[in-house]
Chain A
Amino acid sequence: MASNQSGIQDWWLQRISAGIIAAYVLLLIVLLLVNGTPTAAQWQALFANNAFKAFTLLALIATFYHGLIGVLHIWPDYIKNAATRATLNALSWLAAAGYALYAVYILFGLK
């Protein structure tokens, strides 16, 4: 992220990931508004579908990446102390990486 000096790469990735997340969120909202609260069986059947599972993983990875780019751009606007900023950056990376591993485990790991 720091390697892209002009920010063009972040700019594009932020919008591409936003498009993926928006499509996924809109799909979920439409499903919930149309069908109402799902039962356990309906909810788990939806996530047992491989296409939906793949879309979920894609949307979640896009979310973690989108959030990571976001917070890495926000910290330097408010945090002037270099050590605090480095700590927040490290925590943000750690959170995003942890989320990604956890999401793979939730969707494809052993139950």
Chain B
Amino acid sequence: MSDVTKSKPRPVDMPTFRNIAVSDLARYRLPLPGIASIIHRITGIALFFGLILLLPMLQMSLKSEAGFEAFRTIVWGNPLAKLVMIGLLFAIIYHLIAGIRHVIQDSGKWLDLQVSRSTASAVFVSSVVVTALIVWRLW
């Protein structure tokens, strides 16, 4: 090993393995399965705290016919509220599909890099498609 390094000058772009520093963050790209994993966490946290919005809406929608209509006006009548609801719907669908992939990987399957990459892409695509389908049906 030392012979090799002595005989040839070390290429400038040769990778070195060390902990990254804060200044590296802009250049650091999470691999696709890593992105799938972090979005699973983010959607999970968003849903847990999003329940603060969802539970009062459930209560409103069940209280009376007027309550149901008021809920529809608030959610469908306000573009921001609509966006938040579509976001939470996406979070549910994404978290569910990514969760199924996670359980399959826990059992020891789908672990090599190529498969892990392609199933991560499949999670992104299918969750967007299912969300779009529901939004389109309920519009």
Contact = CB atoms under 8 A, between A and B. Distances in A.
Interface string A14-32: 0100100110010001001
Tell which of B44, B48, B130, B138 has the most Cβ of chain A within 10 Å: B48
B47 interface: yes
Given A33-B134, A41-B65, A106-B62, A95 B55 contact: no
B51 A67 contact: yes
Contacts of B63: 111
A33 B68 CA distance: 19
Chain A residues touching B, range: 20 to 34
Interface residues of B, number: 27
Given A43-B68, A47-B62, A103-B55, A32 B137 contact: yes
B48 A95 contact: yes
A111 to B, nearest CB: 6
Contacts of A47: 62
Interface in A61-79: 63-64, 67-68, 70-71, 74
| Dominant SS among interface residues on chain B | helix
- Majority DSSP secondary structure for residues of A touching B: helix
B111 interface: no
Interface string B85-120: 000000010001001100100000000000000000
Given A92-B48, A102-B55, 15 more contacts: A25-B96, A29-B130, A33-B134, A36-B138, A40-B68, A41-B65, A44-B62, A63-B51, A67-B44, A70-B44, A70-B45, A70-B48, A74-B41, A99-B55, A111-B63
Interface of A: 15, 18, 21-22, 25, 29, 32-33, 36-37, 40-41, 43-44, 47, 63-64, 67-68, 70-71, 74, 92, 95, 99, 102-103, 106, 111
